Amino acid sequence: MAASAAVRTSVGLTLKLSRIIPDCSSCPLYGSKSCVRSATNSQRRSSQDTFRIIYRHLQTSIGLYHSDDGSSNTEDPDDVVNVVYVDRTGQRIPVQAKVGDNVMYLAHKHGIDLEGACEASLACSTCHVYVSDAHFDKLPEPDEREDDMLDMAAMLQENSRLGCQIILTRELDGMELTLPKVTRNFYVDGHVPKPH
Partner 1 sequence: MCFQSYFGHLLWGPHKIRSRAVCGPRAPSCPWLVYTLFSSCSPKVCVVGSGPGGFYTAQHLIKARPDVELDIYERLPVPFGLVRFGVAPDHPEVKNVINTFTQTAKHSRCNFYGNVNVGRDVTINELKEAYHAVVLSYGAEGNRTMGVPGEDLAGVYAAKDFVGWYNGLPNCRELNPDLSCETAVILGQGNVALDVARILLAPISMLKSTDITQPALEALAQSQVRRVLIVGRRGPLQIACTIKEIREMVNLPGTKPEMLPADFEGISEVLKDVPRPRKRLTELMLKTALETPGEKELERRKSASRSWGFRFFRSPVEVLAEPRTNKTSAIRLAVNRLEGSGADAQAVLTGEVEDVTCGLVISSIGYRSLLIDPGLPFDSRKAIIPNSMGRIQHTPGVYCSGWVKTGPTGVIATTMNNSFDTARSMMEDMDSGALDVSAVKSGSQSITALLRGRGVKPVTFADWEKIDSVETKKGEAEGKPREKLLSVEEMLQVAQT
By CB under 8 A, name the binding residues for partner 1.
2-4, 6-7, 10-11, 13-15, 17-18, 20, 22, 27-29, 51, 54-58, 62-65, 113, 115-119, 121-126, 128, 144-145, 147-149, 151-154, 156, 182, 184, 186-187, 192-196
Q: State which residue, 65 or 105, has the beta carbon closest to partner 1.
A: 65
Q: What are phi and psi of 172, to 5 degrees?
A: -90, 10
Residue 77 Cβ vs partner 1, minimum distance, rounded to whole Å:
35
Q: State which residue, 19 or 42, has the beta carbon closest to partner 1.
A: 19
Q: Helix crossing, 46-59 with 2-17: angle to 10°?
A: 20
Residue 48 Cβ vs partner 1, minimum distance, rounded to whole Å:
13
Residue 195 Cβ vs partner 1, minimum distance, rounded to whole Å:
4
- Rounded distance between C-alpha atoms, residue 140 and residue 145, angstroms: 14
Order of all β-strands in the sheet with 80-86: 92-98, 80-86, 176-178, 128-131, 160-162
Radius of gyration of the chain from its Cα atoms, rounded to whole angstroms: 21
Residue 98 Cβ vs partner 1, minimum distance, rounded to whole Å:
25
Q: Are 124 and 117 in contact (CB under 8 A)?
A: yes
Q: State which residue, 10 or 169, has the beta carbon closest to partner 1.
A: 10
